[in-house]
Amino acid sequence: MDIIKCPKCSVRVAIFADGTCPSCLTQLDGGKSSHSEVVPQTESGTTATDASFRETRDPSNAKTETQVDDRATHFDLLWILFSLRGRIPRSIFWAASVLGPLLFLVIWGIAISALGDSSIVGLVSLVLLFAFIWSALAVGVKRLHDLGMSGWWMILGFLPGIGQVFMSFYVGLQKGTRGPNRFGIDPLTLFDLNGRTRACT
């Protein structure tokens, strides 16, 4: 897989199958365009250094108008569960939707066991409930952002019947916007040369 330098956003990328830049969607003609620079590779099949690649692949260095949350460029559990900014793909949406409630349940159980019959058990339970609801909203909002939609569409999730269908089938199964959109860079394009994800994929 060729690693080339996009002439528009100046980012070294592994091009999409149709020959476009995954960062800005510029047509690169499979890396053979006279306007694109093929990055020299070493005998191991990688470019000069992983560090150099990560520096140039960092969305903060791309010449786009997309606003990127710094925590969206690597795995940050607090960002995934509580931030309303950025984008997450389907895999992280489902993982957070399944594992998130289990995590809060474990924390609640530990808190109840530690506090016993303390008078603040009710307060702790209320705080954890609020945190769980906020987390569900944050995860849903970032998934909507990946679809190019405003987080306000989460209101549909509270409607009986249609809300559950909307969240489960459309938000949960629809593929996200390809390339950057107004909510952030495509989370599926943030990776390093060894195939490890630098973001949530």
Residues with Cβ within 8 Å of 56's Cβ and at least 6 positions away in sequence, in order, are 5, 10, 11, 12
Entry pTM: 0.57
Q: Which residues of 16-40 are buried (b: 16+ CB within 10 A; e: fewer)?
A: eeeebbbbbbbebeebeeeebeebe
- 20 confidence band (pLDDT: 50, 70, 90): confident
The pLDDT value given to residue 15: 56
Q: Which sequence spans correspond to the domains of the chain? A: 3-64, 75-173
Instruction: State pLDDT tens for residues 127-154.
Output: 889 999 999 999 999 999 999 999 898 8
8 A C-beta contact, residue 157 and residue 167: yes
Q: What are phi and psi of 94, to 5 degrees?
A: -70, -40
The pLDDT value given to residue 170: 84
pLDDT, mean of residues 26-36: 54
- 10 confidence band (pLDDT: 50, 70, 90): low
**Average predicted confidence (pLDDT) for the chain:** 71
Instruction: State pLDDT tens for residues 173-198.
Output: 888 988 889 988 888 876 433 334 55
The pLDDT value given to residue 53: 38
User: What is the strand order of the sheet 37-38 is part of?
Assistant: 12-14, 3-5, 37-38
The pLDDT value given to residue 38: 44
Alpha-carbon gap, residue 59 to 189, rounded angstroms: 10
Percent residues over pLDDT 90 in the chain? 14
Instruction: State pLDDT tens for residues 36-54.
Output: 444 454 454 444 434 443 4
The span from the first CA to the last CA of the chain, in angstroms, equals 19
